[in-house]
Structure 1
C-alpha cells in the first residue's frame, strides 16, 4: 500500500502556487503534444466512418472507456490519423460559455478502435518519459491548475483557450516516480468512488422495485390481506391557502431531486418578489405540488416540507396537509414512486403547458383518485421502505466521505504539501 508522508520541505513560489524546490515548473508543450480538433458531427459520404468523443463525453466522465455510447461520425483520412485517440491521452474542454467549464479533463484509459476527438476539445498527449497521463489528468482537476487555465481563457460571453495558451501553460512536474505514485493513490480513490456509485445505483433500482410492489399491493406484507380502498385526494387532504401574513423570509422552491430547498441554494439567488405577503405559508410535514414538469417528473413533483419548521412558497404551487387517516410517510413514498403521473395526465388540459406549467385545475386535482391500504398496513409498508432507504443513505454518506478525501488529498499531493513514499 502506498504511504504518504507530511513533512517540512523547502518551497518555491510560482505562478501556479508554492511547490517543492525539487519539482520543476515547465511549459506543457515541452512535455506533451497539443492538438486542437476541428472534427464536427456531420456524417459525409466518402469519408471514414468513426466514433466521435464529443464535449459531453469529456465533461461528464473522468475516464474515457468503451462503455460510453459515443455518437457516429465521419472523417477524412488525414483527420483520422491526426485526431484518433489513444490510451494515455488526456482530453480537455477548450471552449465554454462558463469559465468554470474550461480545461475539464478526461483520461483515455483504454485503446478504443476508430475513436476520434470531436470539436471544442483539445488532445494532450504526454511524453511518457517525462509526464504521466493519469497524473496530468488529476493535475488539471486541482484547484490551482484549473483556476490557472480559466484565467488563460479569452472571451466575454463565450470563453476559449488558444493552442498557444495551452502549449505555453505552466505546470508543476514532480519526478516521474512521484507522479506515478500520486496517480496510483488518487486512481484507487476514484475506483472506490466508482464502486460506491455503482452500489448506490443498484440499491436505488432495488428500492424502486420494492416500492412499486409494496405501494401498489402487488406484494403484501405478512399479516395483511383484503382489498385496498379507492379515495380521492380531497378525502385524505385539506388544501392550504394560508397567506404569509407573518412575512416569513424562508422562501423555498421544489427541486425534483432535493425536495423543498431555499431559492438561494437552488438558483444561487433569490427570485421571489420583494413582497412575500401573498405567498403561501406552509409548515413542516405539509406538502406542495409543483405543476412544472422536469426531467423524471413529466407531470410535476410532490414534495413534503422536511428541512424547515415553516417556509413560504409561490401560489403557483398546490399546497395541502394530510388528514390523520393516512400516514404522511406512506404518502411521501407513494407520490415519489410516480403513481400520480397517469391520473394527472387525464386531467391536464390538452395544450395546457404554458411557460412550462401544466394546466391543472384545483377541483380536478383534489378529485384525483388513488388506491391505498389501511392505516396499519401503510405504517408497515413505510417501515420496510424506510429501512431500505437507510441503507441507501449510508452508502451516500460513504460516497461523500470518499469525495472529500479525494478533494483533500488532491490539494495536498498535487502541490507537494504531502509527499509520497516512493521507496
Structure 2
C-alpha cells in the first residue's frame, strides 16, 4: 500500500515521519506496586488498587491501608501525574487507566494489582494516559495480556516492551492530550446532566403517577385515601389493569417457520432502554391471527425470560411497529389510556407488584396476573393525558441528551483514530 508523503510504515501502522516508535519503558519509569502484606513491618499507609482505578478517573471510596517501611513507601509512593494501570483484571478491562493527581488527602502508595507509569522529562503524562486508554479500548492490551483461569495480567515486562508511536515533541503530545481531555470533559458533563435529568424524572414519576403532585388545572386538594396501591387523591381510583384494558400473549412458532424475511416477531431483545431496537430480529412465514398483530398504542411487555431483571421491561409501540407481531414470551397490553399506563409500567407501584408476583423461582407473568395488577388512575382523562404529556416531555429531553452523548463519544473515538496516529497534526 502506498504511504502518503510525510508518513512512514512502522510495526504499529502508518505514522508521521518525525514520530518515533518506542517501547513504553523508554518513555518513563514502569513499576508494579507493593505486594500485599497485612502483617509486615512499618507504619500503616494508604494504597490504591484496581478498585480505585477506572477509565480516566480515580475513585477514592474504598482506600485500604497496609504496613510499609519507609524504604518501601518511598519506592511505591505516588506522585502527581503518575499514570496508573490495572495489572490484573478481566481480559476486556486489563490495562484500564487514569492519571493520579493527588486526589487522596495524604501521601499514598500502590499495591501490585496496579502498574505505575511515571513519564520521563520531555514526555507528557496526559498524552501517555490517553494513549494507554486507547490501547485498552482498542484491544492492544488484550493482545499482550496473559490469561489465567479467571484474571488477565498485563505484565510489567510485557507493558515495558510494548512498542507504541510517540510524537517527538512534548508540545505536540500536550496538544493531543488537551484536545482529547476537552472531549472527555464534554462527555463527562453530558453524563452528569443526563444522570441529573434521570433523577428528576424518577422523582417526577413518583409524584405525578401517585397524585402527590398535581399539575396546574388539577390542583383540587381533595385529600388522600388509602388503597391497595398506597395513598392516592380522593378523586383518583385504584384500578386493575384488567378493568381498563386487555392483555394478549404472543405468537408461538416453530423453528421451521423462521425465514430470512416475512413478519417480524418482536421479542425481549427488541426492547432496549424502553425503545424498540432492531439489531436482533426474527422473521416468520406463517398465518398470524389479526388480534396479535401489533397496533399503535400497544404496550409491549416482556413476561417470560431466563433473566428476572428483564421481566416487565416494556416499550410503547408507534407506527414503526405496524405489520409486526410478538413472541410467546411477550405480551401486549391494550388500553385507551396507553400513554398514562405506559408510564405506570416504569413506576415503583407496578414494579413492586411484578417483583412480588415473581416470588423465589417463577420467571414469568401470566395474563391473569398482569390483569390483576393495580395502578393509581385519575378519573379525568384530561389529567391522565396531562401527566403523560409532562413525563413524555421529560423522556424527550433525556433522549436528546442521550443522542448528544452518543455523538460526543463517537467524536472522541474519531479523534483518537486521527490524532494518536498523526493523521491530524495539532501543532
TM-score, length of structure 1 as denominator length: 0.79
User: After superposition, where does 1:217-228 map in structure 2 within 5 Å?
Assistant: 217-224=211-218, 225=220, 227-228=235-236
How far residue 79 of structure 1 moved from its aligned partner, in angstroms, is 4.6
How far residue 38 of structure 1 moved from its aligned partner, in angstroms, is 5.1
Bigger mean CA deviation after superposition, 376-385 or 389-398:
389-398
Write the deviation string for residues 287-327 of structure 1: whole angstroms up to 9, x where unpaired.
Answer: 214466979x698534445674466666444x132222x2x
2:67 equivalent to 1:54 = no
Write the deviation string for residues 33-67 of structure 1: whole angstroms up to 9, x where unpaired.
Answer: 11123545x85587644444332432x431226xx
Q: 1:241 aligns with which of 249, 259, 266?
A: 249
2:43 equivalent to 1:33 = no
Distance in 2, matches of 1:291 and 1:215, equals 26
Distance in 2, matches of 1:403 and 1:189, equals 8
* Structure 2 runs not aligned, ≥5 long: 223-234
Distance in 1, matches of 2:180 and 2:213, equals 44
Q: Which residue of 2 aligns with 1:378?
A: 384
Instruction: Evaluate the alpha carbon distance shift between residue 15 and residue 144 of structure 1 in structure 2; reply closer, same or farther with a 3 A threshold.
Output: farther
How far residue 387 of structure 1 moved from its aligned partner, in angstroms, is 1.8
2:162 equivalent to 1:149 = no
2:410 equivalent to 1:404 = yes
Distance in 1, matches of 2:328 and 2:46, equals 49
Q: 1:321 aligns with which of 321, 333, 336?
A: 333
Contact 1:52-1:115 at 8 Å conserved across structures = yes
Q: 1:415 aligns with which of 406, 418, 421?
A: 421
Distance in 2, matches of 1:281 and 1:91, equals 55
How far residue 395 of structure 1 moved from its aligned partner, in angstroms, is 2.1
Bigger mean CA deviation after superposition, 179-188 or 111-120:
111-120
Q: Which residue of 1 aligns with 2:227?
A: none
How far residue 149 of structure 1 moved from its aligned partner, in angstroms, is 3.1
How many residues were matched structurally?
393
Question: Is the partner of 1:336 in helix, strand or coil?
Answer: coil
2:106 equivalent to 1:101 = no
Question: Is the partner of 2:99 in helix, strand or coil?
Answer: strand
Instruction: Evaluate the alpha carbon distance shift between residue 344 and residue 404 of structure 1 in structure 2; reply closer, same or farther with a 3 A threshold.
Output: closer
Q: Which residue of 1 aligns with 2:163?
A: 170
Bigger mean CA deviation after superposition, 20-29 or 235-244:
235-244
How far residue 17 of structure 1 moved from its aligned partner, in angstroms, is 1.0
Q: Which residue of 2 aligns with 1:3?
A: none
Instruction: Evaluate the alpha carbon distance shift between residue 353 and residue 82 of structure 1 in structure 2; reply closer, same or farther with a 3 A threshold.
Output: farther
Q: Which residue of 1 aligns with 2:127?
A: 135
Q: Which residue of 2 aligns with 1:81?
A: 74
Instruction: Evaluate the alpha carbon distance shift between residue 97 and residue 106 of structure 1 in structure 2; reply closer, same or farther with a 3 A threshold.
Output: same
Q: Which residue of 1 aligns with 2:299?
A: 286
Q: 1:229 aligns with which of 211, 229, 237?
A: 237
* Structure 1 runs not aligned, ≥5 long: 1-7
Instruction: Evaluate the alpha carbon distance shift between residue 345 and residue 259 of structure 1 in structure 2; reply closer, same or farther with a 3 A threshold.
Output: closer
How far residue 368 of structure 1 moved from its aligned partner, in angstroms, is 2.0
User: After superposition, where does 1:339-358 map in structure 2 within 5 Å?
Assistant: 339-349=349-359, 352-353=360-361, 357=363
How far residue 332 of structure 1 moved from its aligned partner, in angstroms, is 1.7
Write the deviation string for residues 170-217 of structure 1: whole angstroms up to 9, x where unpaired.
Answer: 121211110011111111121122122211112222222222211111
Distance in 2, matches of 1:275 and 1:85, equals 64
Bigger mean CA deviation after superposition, 137-146 or 333-342:
137-146
Q: 1:369 aligns with which of 356, 365, 374?
A: 374
Distance in 2, matches of 1:43 and 1:291, equals 48
Instruction: Evaluate the alpha carbon distance shift between residue 49 and residue 381 of structure 1 in structure 2; reply closer, same or farther with a 3 A threshold.
Output: farther
Question: Is the partner of 1:420 in helix, strand or coil?
Answer: coil
Q: Which residue of 2 aligns with 1:258?
A: 273
Distance in 1, matches of 2:146 and 2:285, equals 40
Instruction: Evaluate the alpha carbon distance shift between residue 45 and residue 300 of structure 1 in structure 2; reply closer, same or farther with a 3 A threshold.
Output: farther
Distance in 1, matches of 2:189 and 2:315, equals 30
Contact 1:252-1:260 at 8 Å conserved across structures = no
Instruction: Evaluate the alpha carbon distance shift between residue 55 and residue 399 of structure 1 in structure 2; reply closer, same or farther with a 3 A threshold.
Output: same
Bigger mean CA deviation after superposition, 183-192 or 220-229:
220-229
Contact 1:287-1:302 at 8 Å conserved across structures = yes
Instruction: Evaluate the alpha carbon distance shift between residue 44 and residue 309 of structure 1 in structure 2; reply closer, same or farther with a 3 A threshold.
Output: farther
Contact 1:96-1:159 at 8 Å conserved across structures = yes
Q: Which has the higher contact order (CA 8 A, sep 6+)?
A: 1
Bigger mean CA deviation after superposition, 75-84 or 204-213:
75-84
Contact 1:243-1:277 at 8 Å conserved across structures = no
Q: Which residue of 2 aligns with 1:212?
A: 206
Bigger mean CA deviation after superposition, 411-420 or 73-82:
73-82
Distance in 2, matches of 1:193 and 1:111, equals 21
Contact 1:88-1:108 at 8 Å conserved across structures = yes
Distance in 2, matches of 1:367 and 1:333, equals 18
Question: Is the partner of 2:147 in helix, strand or coil?
Answer: coil
